[in-house]
Chains A and B, each alone.
Chain A
Amino acid sequence: MSAGSWKFWLPLAIFAGFCLLVFVQLMHPAEREVASAMIGKPLPAFDLRAAVPERPGLATVDLKDGKPRLLNIWASWCIPCAAEAPQLEALRQQGVEIVGVAIRDTPEDVTGFLARYGNPYARLGADDLSEVQLGIGSSGVPETFVIDGAGVIRYQHIGDIREDDVPMLIARLKEAAR
């Protein structure tokens, strides 16, 4: 190697720096979300009509019976909501009670969606004007909230639930039960 050839290694060094930076970011996906100001606060008062005939609607009082639950905000027109359906079903089979809020939807669409992807919901309210959605600090679908037995929001999960998220949500629920 001749003297001064160090400069030919510079591009490689710069690229190595890039890889390191990106790798760190990949391993620690940063939370760039404006966090909901509602975490740690009680749910706002609402009383939603049933979205489908076979499940009761959803009101704030239903969520204050001492049992922690998942509150899933979704819509039949949202593709990621279909993607997370198996994970919700898995959660239900592990004994988690899930209540749902369908955003800006029609009973026919909701029924069709549930027939195709399964119905993990114990209760299902229809939120036609996104009032509840906005009231609890959510701005999109799907989002999933951990609600403790006193009706207090303990955790907000944004986006579809992945397989790796299932144990995490169960841990959050256990935490909320304490």
Chain B
Amino acid sequence: MIAEFGLAALWLAAALALLQLVAGSLCLQPKGERMSVIVRPAAVMQGVLSALAFGALLLLFLNTDLSVKLVVMNSHSAKPVIFKLAGAWGNHEGSMLLWVTVMALAGGLVALLERRLPERTMLATLAAQAFVGLGFYAFLLFSSNPFERLPVPAREGMGLNPLLQDIGLAFHPPTLYLGYVGMSVAFSFAVGAMLTRQVTPAFATAMRPWVLGAWIFLTVGITAGSYWAYYELGWGGWWFWDPVENASLMPWLAATALLHSASVLAARDALRAWTVMLGVVAFSMSMIGTFLVRSGILTSVHAFAVDPERGTFILVLLAIYIGGALTLFAMRAGTIAEGERFSVTSREGALVVNNVALSAILGIVLLGTLYPLLAEAFGVKVSVGPPYFNPVSAIFFLPMLLVMAVGPLLRWRRDSAARIRPPLMACAGIALLVLAGLIAWGPPGLLPMLGIALAAAVGIASLLPLRGRKLRRTPLPLWGMVIAHFGLALALFGASADSAYSVERLVAARIGQVTDVGPWQVRLASVEPTAGPNWTALEARLEASYRGGAPIVATPQSRYFWAPVQQTNESALLTRWNGQLYAVLGGEAEDGRWQLRLWWKPFVTCIWFGGLLIALGGLLALIGRVYGDLRRRAILARIAQRKVDLGR
């Protein structure tokens, strides 16, 4: 019954989305205002129903209902409960259901909470949200029904893949999804604003908290994904520029640009067309990235991974939504383009440079990700990796950092460069000092060296907006900006320090042999077999001492799973405040020696702490904005009340 209930809820939600679309569109016609009363309730009910459908799927997985095909394919009665639940979204159909659920819930929340926009714009926005949702409902119901029953119930599920039983993996995809799909709100806001020609500061203020929310999830998701790849793959790297990572980075870049241009629009009524454009692009990147990964076009070698039917379905959806929004943009942009003017040396000017740099990086990542496809159309097989992405994106990343240091110090509209010269000179001085120190100490590569010097200068510059303020009375959004910018500087420092000063040793060691790696002496004490619930492993016992101190034990493993057959290298990490020792156990050489791969990675953890700080900054800004809005509403309500009282 639960499956039928879920399917029914899904159909009803789709029907409501259709109603919401039709009613919302009619409202835009001259005589359609009467339809407006049903749009908001429809949006809220649609959110509730899709949440019920997703709840039904969770329940099916919780009960391991083996008459449902999806459960059979992806679950097993012996799985721990948490992984049974994670199995619900860890597959194509379930993740698509999660996608529409998040989209419908976001739409419902917008309908429930958002009161700042003109009603017509609001209705157009909700209609757009319903229009986008409708396509994905159709996709689910016609080609990826998660509630499909088997003609004969299976005896046992098939999803006991031990590799997938990882708590990080269970929650990483949904975190990213919240970010991807949250961007749909920005998309709908942009379409609504273009339809009603209301690209105003109010539009930017209304859209900003939603974008912030989605952006926080994206930031956390990317940070967590990077750390996972770092410890799980055993290659010592933390970012590999593979399409899966790029698919999450591209919407993040667009959303970051959007946040900044929205603040210009909100504060100064400038960059109207550009902000609307970014609103469309941010969600487009979410959809394109997900599509590229999901359709198997980029990641797969095997023809069977590309399912032309589903791939074409999603491509058609993309063409309708993105193509439609961009056409609307092309037709309307001319009428909304002219905003307030500003000088080059102003906060707006700096934010424009930031936006240009972010867009350039976005373009570079997108081109690099698509290039193998492009080359293949001409019969050439290539892959694109760090040798392309690192230097080319750095060319635009470095000026963006400089502007990040300068921009927050500038005033809106117009400012004089002379006013902010003293603090900037101080920062530049610090950068030069650091640079000189690095060169004296033995220069690493050019880019890492620049990175460390810039990180120091930008880190300090990012704190400057707090100068001369009472810290307790500083508005939360300003705190958010400062912390997020500082987080970026910290991440840059971690990445640069890692690439400049990492020490790597690859040895075949006898039992008892001591290997030096950076400041560590690592002794291979023993290699013993050990076993877990569904694997056996060889576990090395390493006794590592930092600068001759007391030894700390690290136990990297080489694990063999048997269902399905799979080997993984479990790296061992020893974390100190100033870096990590990273150890991987390889195979046994014929003469009884063991392959060990050891890294000392100074300050590498700053990368992820920086990422978390960026997300924390976003969270503070979000809290500040929502709180400000609530207070504004309370004041308005009081004024209205007083008017009523006076009128009596």
Tell me whether A and B are bound partners.
yes
Chain A's closest residue to B565 (CB) is: A104
B167 within 8 A of A: no
A15 contacts which of B154, B323, B377, B564 (Cβ < 8 Å)?
B323
Binds A, one of B18-26, B307-315, B487-495, B539-547: B307-315
Q: Is the interface of A mostly helix, strand, loop or mixed?
A: helix
Interface size on B, residues (CB 8 A): 45
Residue of A nearest to B334 (CB): A5
B306 near A26 with CB under 8 A, answer yes
B565 touches A29 (CB 8 A): no
Let me know if B563 is at the binding interface, CB within 8 A: yes
A16 touches B323 (CB 8 A): yes
Interface string of A103-115 (1 = CB under 8 A from B): 0100000000000
- Among B302, B304, B565, the residue within 8 A (CB) of A77 is B565
In whole angstroms, what is the CA distance A22 to B296 when docked? 11
Q: How many angstroms from the CA of A37 to the CA of B357 in the assembled complex?
A: 48
Query: A-facing mask of B315-334, CB < 8 A → 1, else 0?
Result: 10011001100110111011
B-side contacts of A24, CB under 8 Å = 377
Q: Which residues in window 374-430 of B have CB below 8 A to A? A: 374, 376-377, 381
A11:B308 contact, CB within 8 angstroms: no
State A82–B150 Cα separation when bound (angstroms): 14
Distance, CA A9 to CA B73, complexed state (A): 45
B193 to chain A, nearest CB (A): 15
For the complex, give the distance between the alpha carbons of A101 and B636 in Å: 76
Which of B305, B319, B327, B331 touches A19 (beta carbons < 8 Å)? B319
Task: With A9-B330, A22-B373, A33-B301 as known contacts, state yes or no: A77 contacts B277, CB within 8 Å.
Answer: no
Q: In angstroms, how far is the closest chain A Cβ from the Cβ of B326?
A: 4
Contact of B376 among A27, A30, A79, A158 (CB under 8 A): A30
A12 beta carbon closer than 8 Å to chain B? yes
Main secondary structure of the interface of B (DSSP, over half): helix
Query: Which residue of chain A lies nearest to B311 when distances are taken between CB atoms in the complex?
Result: A26
A22–B297 touching, CB < 8 Å: yes
Enumerate A139-178 residues with CB–CB distance to B below 8 Å. 158-160, 162
Give Cα distance in the complex from A78 to B564, angstroms: 7
Q: Which has the most chain A C-beta neighbours within 10 Å: B273, B297, B301, B304?
A: B304
In the assembled complex, A25 has its CB within 8 A of some CB on chain B: yes
A153 vs B376: C-alpha distance when bound (angstroms): 28
Across-interface contacts of A23 in B (CB, < 8 A)? 312, 315
Chain A residues within 8 Å of B291, by CB:
22
Ordered nearest first, which 7 A-B pairs have the shortest CB separation? A159-B304, A12-B326, A8-B333, A32-B301, A8-B330, A5-B334, A29-B303
Where the two chains meet, the residues of B that have a C-beta atom closer than 8 Å to any C-beta of A are 73, 154-155, 158, 273, 277, 280-281, 284, 288, 291-292, 295, 297, 300-306, 308, 311-312, 315, 318-319, 322-323, 326-327, 329-331, 333-334, 370, 373-374, 376-377, 381, 563-565
